[in-house]
Homo-oligomer: A and B are copies of this chain.
Amino acid sequence: MSNISSFPKKLKIKLSIAIPSSILENCQDLRSQTEKIGIIARACAIFKVEEIFIYPHYFKTKNSIKENNLKFITTIFNYLECPPYLRKRLFPISPYLKFSGLLPPLKIAHHILKNKFENLESGEIREGLIIESNDKFSRVDIGLDQKFYLDIPNLKINSRITIFLKKQNSKMKISMIDPNNLRYYWGYKIYIQDLKKILDNYKDLCVIITSKYGKNIEKNKTRLINKVLQVSKLLVVFGAPFEGLIPIFKKKEIKIQNNNFFDLNMIPHQGTETVTTEEALISTLSILNYLYWDSIQ
């Protein structure tokens, strides 16, 4: 994927998901917890999810790591999304990362493998890290032995930036760009937010709520697709390992009486008694991806 022409394009709609902080409560140990976040992150990357909301939710089980849960989850998600060549600088050794070696590579566009200066091409886009910044300029690590200068002063050390490479007078120069304006899928961002708050922000957009008790996806397809093509953002909300969305909504006094909400069962006639969050996530995003492309072909 090193050639920019092969970079996967962004979806026209901004796709987001919301998952509970209790997502790891059915995992037996740190290794399983790490791998589960890996599976979810991979699914998000395959289907071009741009925002992952973690909503605080606790359910009493002996395996829950409670307070540290949120920090652990966000660390693993962010570690995975970070280009491998910047990880050492951004993620100091931590007990959270004990099993990071088992995490699957995301292989999204900015995880480029090219690491030789002589292979760089004009027009390339990469992620970089500000490693030095003074009143005149900044120095950026873009994953090569050679560091690059940026003529922007006073940037925050250790902040990630997206850069554009351009050959000027036979020298390769970098300039800073806003990844939000790129037409390529550029990974996801992690947010911790109360579920009620998340849904409030989406009340004029489109929200899919997934559960075994949801409405028939077959019968709601047309209405869903029409809505998805109208709005700019789509959120898919998932329940917890030991508590589905219906009881969670009840406890939080969340009511859904809105044309923009879809309460759907995306796995009609499932063969097993239960479906895990990560299984529901891949299955749901796969159908949405298919329906999306099917409707705009």
Contacts and interface: CB of A to CB of B under 8 A. Distances in A.
Q: How many copies does the complex hold?
A: 2
A101 B284 CA distance: 28
Contact of A267 (B271, B284, B289): B289
A279 B217 contact: no
Interface in A136-165: none
A278 to B, nearest CB: 9
A174 B94 CA distance: 58
B8 A271 contact: yes
Interface residues of A, number: 48
A284 to B, nearest CB: 8
A46 B279 contact: yes
Closest 5 CB pairs of A and B: A283-B286, A107-B273, A48-B271, A218-B294, A1-B273
Interface of A: 1, 8-9, 28, 31-32, 35, 39, 42-43, 45-48, 101-102, 104, 106-108, 185, 216-219, 221, 266-276, 279, 282-284, 286-287, 289-290, 293-294, 297
